[in-house]
Structure 1
Amino acid sequence: MLWSYYAYVFELCLFTITNGFEKVAYLAVFHVCFVMFAWTYWKSIFTPPSQPSKQFHMSYSDKERYENEERSEVQKQILLDIAKRLPVYTRAASGAVRFCDRCQVIKPDRCHHCSLCEMCVLKMDHHCPWVNNCIGFSNYKFFLLFLTYAIVYCVFIASTVLQYFIKFWAGELPNGHAKFHVLFLLFVALMFFVSLMFLFGYHCWLVAKNRSTLEAFQYPTFHNGPDKNGFNLGFSKNLQQVFGEDRKYWFIPTFTSLGDGHFFPMRFLSESRNPLLASEEQCEDGGSDEENYILRRGDPSVTIELDA
């Protein structure tokens, strides 16, 4: 980033471009792209991952009862009894309540333990070496914007440098130290653009389906088995889950994601029903799968919304 700033601002704009209007225009647009790129990158790196709240931690008495019990079936029942007080709907592959032995917490829906960060991360997507941080509920929007502005940054550099790359290559400009920087600016911008487009495209698909990277490889499991579309609310609502309801804040790296990371809306599917709600009145499906979902927002109660 620092080298690209020096190469573009000084070697290209100040030392190579002679047209004053072109120079000012390039510098103005470049700095907007660079600031947004650097800002989103900073937010992705230094926004700490969100961890489960205290209500998901085992009390001392529950922890003692769980650890002193040697029978696995009884341990499952203990976890189930604790989960009755929590709005937890997903299950482990075995059908048991998801529990982290290292953090001693009942895992909220879509929460996973990161072995590198040594913590449970809400709506964990993946641990990213690019930002040396866990990407999850607290910074997923920042990570997507980082990819977006990184691509815009690369496209702008490549498109504006291309004509001077050709001029240097054709010998229309004198050979000097600026030639080296201009040539490499184009190569590096194109190389990063290609690699980023694959990653960006994949995460756009994940957002459209309301899945995390972990959920794409291993579907979330509910009472009646895995369901890849358990959290899919439809394209528009899926976008709002990550970027919020107010569109004017979508492209600004401020936190606008819906909820608090512990509770997520679910489609109203029979396989997504919580066994703890088995005694609840069964509701008939009054619309399409995209229209019927269970909406839970920070409250252990459950509201069933049926759109005609």
Structure 2
Amino acid sequence: MAMSRGLRCCQRIFSWIPVVIISSVVLWSYYAYVFELCFLHHNNFFSAAAYLLVFHVCFVMFCWTYWKAIFTPPSTPCKKFHLSYSDKERYEMEERPDAQKQILIDIAKKLPIFTRAQSGAIRFCDRCQVIKPDRCHHCSVCETCILKMDHHCPWVNNCVGFSNYKFFLLFLSYSMLYCVFIAATVFQYFLKFWVGELSNGHAKFHVLFLLFVALMFFVSLMFLFGYHCWLVAKNRSTLEAFSAPVFQNGPDRNGFNVGIRKNLLQVFGEDRRLWFFPVFTSQGDGHYFPLRTLCEYQNPLLASEGRWAEDGGSDEDSTGERDVISAEKEQHVLSSA
């Protein structure tokens, strides 16, 4: 027991190594660009001031988005998707797999769940004891189920999912902007050092490494950012791109694709003034997503807060909610047929 705790503690410590590496490279780049380049080897005051202004804007936005991607807790299923004490007891006491499957089906009738396991059964996490909402997956690193899980990223030491996917995309975009700006403004000094117009001191090595590191990170980030832009346009997560979500009528990679504009709004929200700032503006609550076959029937995101309020409503309201969910599921089956 003590050994396992020690191993978990070491694992948590080592998981921060990639974050420390990125942070160290960024801090070094700040010193090299601001002090070694702009303060010591830039002769034009106004040009240096303009460079420093733009550099600090890029630096602040990069740090802000990186911080939000790291320290925003991943969203987990609400208590509506957890088995009640009686349902859990009934499920655990039942030994027949078919009967357990039917118990989960009966419980899921009250929930907005459209996806299934590969076997066609209700997706259930034995470790978290929770019926998985659509697009929810269990992360073995975080040891919990994550809403709209995309992947576990070691470079932010966090799960990228519903709560921080926008922050992760902004982190990639501002990282690219940061690298492009450094490479573009450092290139002229690289040429001057190369032809011997500037002194051959230790600043030369800072300039050389600044250009090399900026270009190297930009190339790698460009492919990753382009891939995630494609995922957003298709309304897929990384996991869904590798394994298509399964619905009642079978696997469908485009099951959640409701058009590029609506897909974009799901991640960034309707207020375009906030798209480029790391503040949470994503639509919905992560438990329920519009389906391609239902996008013209109803927009469930608008009513998600009222439907899944923790306080709940009267029995009559709950019955009405179940009727709405059943009607949506029937419509989905009819549309898919």
What is the Cα deviation at residue 237 of structure 1? 0.5
Q: Secondary structure at the match of 2:216?
A: helix
Q: What is the aligned partner in structure 2 of residue 154 from structure 1?
A: 179
Q: How does 1:1-308 map to 2 (within 5 A)?
A: 1-268=26-293, 292=296, 294-297=298-301, 298=304, 299=307, 300=321, 301-302=324-325
CA distance in 1, matches of 2:240, 2:298: 19
CA distance in 1, matches of 2:241, 2:296: 22
The residue identity in structure 1 corresponding to 2:188 is: Q
- Structure 1 contact 145–253 (Cα < 8 Å) conserved: yes
The residue identity in structure 1 corresponding to 2:66 is: Y
- RMSD across aligned positions (CA): 1.5
What's the TM-score once normalised by structure 1's chain length? 0.90
CA distance in 2, matches of 1:252, 1:233: 25
Q: Secondary structure at the match of 1:145?
A: helix
CA distance in 1, matches of 2:232, 2:142: 24
CA distance in 1, matches of 2:216, 2:122: 45
CA distance in 2, matches of 1:164, 1:33: 20
Give the unaligned 5+ runs of structure 1: 270-290
What is the Cα deviation at residue 53 of structure 1? 0.2
CA distance in 2, matches of 1:245, 1:73: 44
Q: What is the aligned partner in structure 1 of residue 314 from structure 2?
A: none
What is the Cα deviation at residue 62 of structure 1? 0.6
CA distance in 1, matches of 2:300, 2:91: 28
CA distance in 1, matches of 2:161, 2:101: 28
What is the Cα deviation at residue 295 of structure 1? 2.9
CA distance in 1, matches of 2:50, 2:300: 49
Q: Secondary structure at the match of 1:266?
A: coil
Q: Deviations over 1:221-251 (max 9, x none)?
A: 1001001110001010000000001111000
The residue identity in structure 2 corresponding to 1:140 is: Y
Q: What is the aligned partner in structure 2 of residue 276 from structure 1?
A: none
The residue identity in structure 1 corresponding to 2:102 is: Q
Percent identical: 75
How many residue pairs match? The answer is: 285
- Structure 1 contact 266–293 (Cα < 8 Å) conserved: no
CA distance in 1, matches of 2:180, 2:280: 26
CA distance in 1, matches of 2:204, 2:198: 9
Give the unaligned 5+ runs of structure 2: 1-25, 308-320
What's the TM-score once normalised by structure 2's chain length? 0.82
The residue identity in structure 2 corresponding to 1:155 is: V
The residue identity in structure 1 corresponding to 2:31 is: Y
CA distance in 2, matches of 1:267, 1:232: 6
The residue identity in structure 2 corresponding to 1:111 is: C
What is the Cα deviation at residue 294 of structure 1? 5.0
Counterparts in 2 of 1:251 and 1:293: CA distance versus 1, 3 Å: farther
- Structure 1 contact 155–189 (Cα < 8 Å) conserved: yes
The residue identity in structure 1 corresponding to 2:58 is: C
- Structure 1 contact 127–135 (Cα < 8 Å) conserved: yes
